[in-house]
Amino acid sequence: MRIHYRRNRKPQFDAGLQYRANDAIRVPNVRVVDENGEPLGVMPTRQAIRLAQERELDLVEVAPKAEPPVCRIIDYGQFKYQKEKEHKAQKTHARKVEVKGIRLSVKMGEHDLDIRLEKTKEFLADGQKAKIEIILRGREKAHGDIAADRINDFIERLKPFFELYIEQPVKRQGGNVSAIIGRK
């Protein structure tokens, strides 16, 4: 019997949170800023690392794309912790737009259609997108054009209430006919 072991993979690090510090800095010259935010000017990397070690701090590359790269003399652990906190705060404040599903039917009654219309208005008012879809069953599959007309009619009924944009036009995929709309 053969036993398979899973490899322990390293955790995925966010590319935005990786900073080079001390000996990992490979450029010959850097622009140095001290712990109080005062610029010390451009100097060789070895000299800047020595200066940081004398102050019992780290030399951290904060702007690697600048010419020459900008480095600060700070406590690396504390700096990394602050950046992770900022990154987490940005993620929590980022608004996620969901695509809400509205399912119609070719044989749906007028009252049911009105209820779906009200629900769609709520979703669009909240800033969400709506995927309007009709699943065709049996002989309905031969009449995909009727389903497309039904979805277009539904979108036309929404137009007086919102300025809409059609993210995905009415499209048939197998037994489904769908469209995705959102608010401008």
Residue 152: Cβ within 10 Å count = 15
Look up the domain containing 19 and give its range.
15-91
Q: What is the DSSP letter of 21?
A: B
3-state DSSP helix/strand/coil % of the chain, to nearest 5: 40, 30, 30
Q: 42-86, pLDDT tens digit by residue?
A: 989 899 888 888 888 888 888 888 888 899 999 888 888 988 898
User: Is residue 128 a part of any domain in this protein?
Assistant: yes
40 with 115, same domain: the answer is no
Buried b (16+ CB within 10 A) or exposed e, 65-81: eeeebbbbbbebeebbe
User: Is residue 108 a part of any domain in this protein?
Assistant: yes
pTM of the model: 0.53
CA 56 to CA 60: how far, in whole Å? 13
Q: 109-164, pLDDT tens digit by residue?
A: 999 999 999 999 999 998 899 999 999 999 989 989 999 999 999 999 999 998 99
117 with 43, same domain: the answer is no
174 with 104, same domain: the answer is yes
Which amino acid, residue 24? Answer: A
Give the number of domains in the chain: 2
66 with 124, same domain: the answer is no
User: Is residue 4 a part of any domain in this protein?
Assistant: no
